[in-house]
Amino acid sequence: MTLNQQLQDLVGEVEAHNRAIRMAAEQIPAAELRGLSVDAFCALPPEPNVDAAIEAAERALAAAREQAPVRTTGLLQELRIQAVDVGPVTESLQRGLDDLDIAAAARVQAHLAELGEGGEAWVADGVHRMQDDDQPGHSCPFCAQDLGGSPVLHHYRAFFGDAYRDLKASVAESLAAATRSFRQDFLLELERAVGGNAERKQFWSRFCDVPDIELDTEDIGRHWAVVAEAVLAALRAKQASPLEALELPREVFDSIAVLQEKGRQVTAINAEIVAANEAIRAVKAAAAGADPAALHSELQRLLAAKARHTPAISLLCDAYLAEKAAKLLTEQRRDQARTALTNYRTQIFPTYQTAINRYLQLFGAGFRLERIQAVNNRGGSACSYDVVINNTAVSIAGRAGAPDSHGFHNTLSAGDRNTLALAFFFASLDQCPRLNDKVVVIDDPVSSLDDHRCLTTTQEIRRLSRRAAQVIVLSHSKPFLCTLWEGVPQAERADRAALELIRQGSGSVLREWDVTRECVSEHDRRHALLREYLEGNGGNGRVVAEAIRPLLESFLRVASPQYFIPGMLLGPFRGLCEQRVGGAQEILDQHHLDELRDLIEYSNRFHHDTNAAWQAEVVNDAELLGFVRRTLAFARR
């Protein structure tokens, strides 16, 4: 019992831990578990860079769920800004004729200026019509004046010679090249590329890092226009005056500086675009064979890991894990206690089986026990065994899954079950090491027992009373208690007490019980009443008259138990006797039957079932005395 109680106490502690663990688990918000068990949640290790990992997992899951758009959406487009090189333009604007000095050029230009608009072309045409030399006799094609020795003719020929034509052709070519170079196409392409990248960034930024592409195309266009307009204007002016050295305005170079800075900005942006495209290609490759369910599980794990290690939930998990650890220690102690109990049962059960079977034999039971084995359950230590009846083993629990199989509940009668319980009880007392210090209480031990087992039970209780410090026996059976009391030697009765529980007011009290008087049966009491009346010892005549019929009935039940069966009344029994008188199964002869009829006729006058006025019936002493004598004589036959 001690080992079992220790085990049960530890089982109770384990259950208390379980309740505490459930309460601790309920404190952890279910939404933060993300589908994990509380144990798995609390076991999650810290995740380094968890926010970045969550963002990456979210992006991977989003890409896996949108595989078709991811597959079809294009990469970012690299930007292109046209370089501006005004070096050739500047060179062209500064170019002149080496064999035409500045003073001569100034005189030619002054003369041409006097001619007005178109004058230069008119003079150039005339120079081309002249002879190749300025010898005397050659005349001007316009005025027929002799040009021999003309001081300006040499200057005009240099001004309007091949070098001049080459100069003008070079200026024209520079103007054409500049016109081609400063087309607006690249600005449109740049704006389309920037706009397209903005749209793709909005899409791809859901799945990977995409840089912000910030480029002021309007500012580029503005400075591009400044440069283009100034360069083209300067080249047109140079074309109009090829010998005039021109320079580009200062704002052109300022705008060129801005455009060059924009070019460096575009180069940096393109480097970011290349890196982003690598990430986008990785997203495409990962999404192509991704498992959305697995990615979702991984995202949930990361979210749970982040929540697990927040300060508030970390405290809740610590409390849960601490309770789990405490439970583990208690379970180890419980297992040790169970091992100790198992070892004890292994040693003690064979002894119990022998003792129980000895008591069953004493009680005259038609069965014995075999295969007593230990059983552990939530209620504690228990045992199973077979009841052997007619050499057939019947399990105490019956066959599992077969409700109609033989078992303890349907094989043993109520008396057999009580007999087995008494055998268990007496066998356990035999194993008690300090029984002489114990108080043993036995409650109604003969309930449902057969008469022969009641006697054996009485004898065992008497023996027990000599071994235990005190034995208290409770029972509703007066015959059993009387037998138990009468078997106590007179010399030992001083140490014994008989008490009865009686009702008093609204409660009950114990008082001393006269066992000797109570052991007298009602039949014996009525017989003594009639004898005392016959012997002249007085008594209440009416009480004596009322006792005659019950006395006759109890006597006949004992004298003819096979005919006067339980439940049968006196009248039907007399009728049965009358039917069988003179026959082979005669119960009473005619003489005794007549006597019985007379006695019943008299006693019915004082019986409530046969005389409604039985209480008012007059009792004649002489008449009563005669019927008392006849009744006692009939009951002696």
pLDDT tens digits for 564-621? 998 888 889 999 999 999 999 999 999 999 999 999 999 999 988 888 888 888 989 9
Co-location of 201 and 298 in the same domain = no
User: Is 363 part of a structural domain of the chain?
Assistant: no
**165-194, pLDDT tens digit by residue?**
787 788 888 888 888 877 778 788 888 999
**530-576, pLDDT tens digit by residue?**
999 989 877 788 999 999 999 999 999 888 999 999 888 888 999 99
For residue 326, pLDDT beyond 90: yes
Co-location of 124 and 165 in the same domain = yes
User: Is 401 part of a structural domain of the chain?
Assistant: no
- Closest of 546, 538, 514, 536 to residue 615, by C-alpha: 546
In this prediction, residue 134 carries a pLDDT of 52
In this prediction, residue 204 carries a pLDDT of 93
User: Is 361 part of a structural domain of the chain?
Assistant: no
User: Is 347 part of a structural domain of the chain?
Assistant: no
Please tell me which residue, 369 or 322, carries the higher pLDDT value. 322
Co-location of 109 and 254 in the same domain = yes
Q: State whether residue 635 is helix, strand or coil.
A: coil
Summarize the confidence of residues 443-451 as an average pLDDT: 75
Reported as a pLDDT band with limits 50, 70 and 90, residue 98 is low
In this prediction, residue 115 carries a pLDDT of 74
Average pLDDT, the chain: 84
Co-location of 301 and 169 in the same domain = no
Are the beta carbons of 547 and 525 closer than 8 angstroms? no
Measured on CA atoms in the order 548, 552, 555, 561, is the torsion positive or negative? Answer: negative
Domain count, the chain: 4
For residue 137, pLDDT beyond 70: no
Reported as a pLDDT band with limits 50, 70 and 90, residue 1 is low
Contacts of 172 (CB under 8 A, 6+ apart): 239
For residue 488, pLDDT beyond 80: no
Domain boundary among 280, 299, 314: 280
Co-location of 6 and 37 in the same domain = yes
Co-location of 129 and 272 in the same domain = yes
Co-location of 186 and 210 in the same domain = yes
Q: Long-range contact list for 251-257, CB < 8 A, 24+ apart?
A: 251/226, 252/86, 252/226, 252/227, 253/86, 255/223, 255/224, 255/226, 255/227, 256/84, 256/86, 256/223, 256/227
For residue 136, pLDDT beyond 90: no
Compute the chain's Rg from CA coordinates.
67
Copy the structure tokens of residue 146: 């002799």
Copy the structure tokens of residue 197: 């990248």
Considering only the C-alpha atoms of the chain, give the largest distance between any 2 of them, rounded to a whole number of Å. Answer: 217
Contacts of 332 (CB under 8 A, 6+ apart): none
Co-location of 116 and 97 in the same domain = yes
User: Is 419 part of a structural domain of the chain?
Assistant: no
Reported as a pLDDT band with limits 50, 70 and 90, residue 28 is very high
Co-location of 128 and 168 in the same domain = yes
For residue 401, pLDDT beyond 70: no
The answer to which of 12-21, 434-443, 448-457, 524-533 has the lowest mean pLDDT is: 448-457
Are the beta carbons of 33 and 300 closer than 8 angstroms? no
For residue 99, pLDDT beyond 60: no
427-464 per-residue burial string, b: 16 or more CB within 10 A, e: under 16: bebbeeeeeeeeebebeebbeebbeebbbbbbebbeeb
Q: Give the up-direction half-sphere exposure of residue 93: CA atoms within 13 A in the CB hemisphere.
A: 18
In this prediction, residue 399 carries a pLDDT of 53
Instruction: Tell me which range, 276-290, 364-378, 484-498, is most confidently predicted by mean pLDDT.
Output: 276-290
In this prediction, residue 153 carries a pLDDT of 65
Percent of the chain residues topping a pLDDT of 70: 87
For residue 160, pLDDT beyond 70: no
**194-227, pLDDT tens digit by residue?**
999 999 999 999 999 999 888 888 888 898 888 8
Contacts of 527 (CB under 8 A, 6+ apart): 551, 632, 635
- Closest of 243, 89, 238 to residue 174, by C-alpha: 89
Question: DSSP letter string over 336-387?
Answer: HHHHHHHHHHHHHHHHHHHHHHHHHHHTT-SEEEEEEEEEEETTEEEEEEEE
In this prediction, residue 601 carries a pLDDT of 92
Counting Cβ atoms within 10 Å, is residue 507 exposed (0-12), middle (13-18) or buried (19+)? exposed
For residue 462, pLDDT beyond 90: no
Strand partners, 474: 443
Are the beta carbons of 70 and 208 closer than 8 angstroms? no
User: Is 375 part of a structural domain of the chain?
Assistant: no
What's the rounded Cα separation, in Å, for the pair 421 and 341?
22
Domain boundary among 214, 246, 280: 280
Neighbours of 394 (CB within 10 A): 21
Measured on CA atoms in the order 316, 318, 320, 323, is the torsion positive or negative? Answer: negative
Co-location of 157 and 266 in the same domain = yes
User: Is 476 part of a structural domain of the chain?
Assistant: yes
What's the rounded Cα separation, in Å, for the pair 637 and 635?
6
Reported as a pLDDT band with limits 50, 70 and 90, residue 381 is low
Residue 480 CA: distances (Å) to CA of 107, 467, 523: 167, 21, 18
Are the beta carbons of 415 and 364 closer than 8 angstroms? no
Q: State whether residue 583 is helix, strand or coil.
A: coil
Can you list the alpha helix ranges (DSSP code H) found in 162-291?
Answer: 162-181, 185-204, 217-240, 250-288
Summarize the confidence of residues 262-266 as an average pLDDT: 90
Summarize the confidence of residues 67-77 as an average pLDDT: 92
For residue 320, pLDDT beyond 90: yes
Q: Any idea which residue has 């410090």 for tokens?
A: 469
Strand partners, 501: 510
Please tell me which residue, 396 or 439, carries the higher pLDDT value. 439
Q: Give the up-direction half-sphere exposure of residue 20: CA atoms within 13 A in the CB hemisphere.
A: 16
Domain boundary among 474, 497, 519: 519
According to DSSP, the β-strands at 470-474 and 439-443 are parallel
User: Is 513 part of a structural domain of the chain?
Assistant: yes
Strand partners, 473: 442
Summarize the confidence of residues 342-369 as an average pLDDT: 83
Contacts of 449 (CB under 8 A, 6+ apart): 415, 418, 419, 457
In this prediction, residue 7 carries a pLDDT of 85
φ, ψ of residue 233 to 5 degrees: the values are -65, -40
Co-location of 118 and 208 in the same domain = yes
Reported as a pLDDT band with limits 50, 70 and 90, residue 101 is low
Co-location of 32 and 21 in the same domain = yes
According to DSSP, the β-strands at 392-395 and 380-389 are antiparallel
Look up the domain containing 7 and give its range: 2-76+283-333
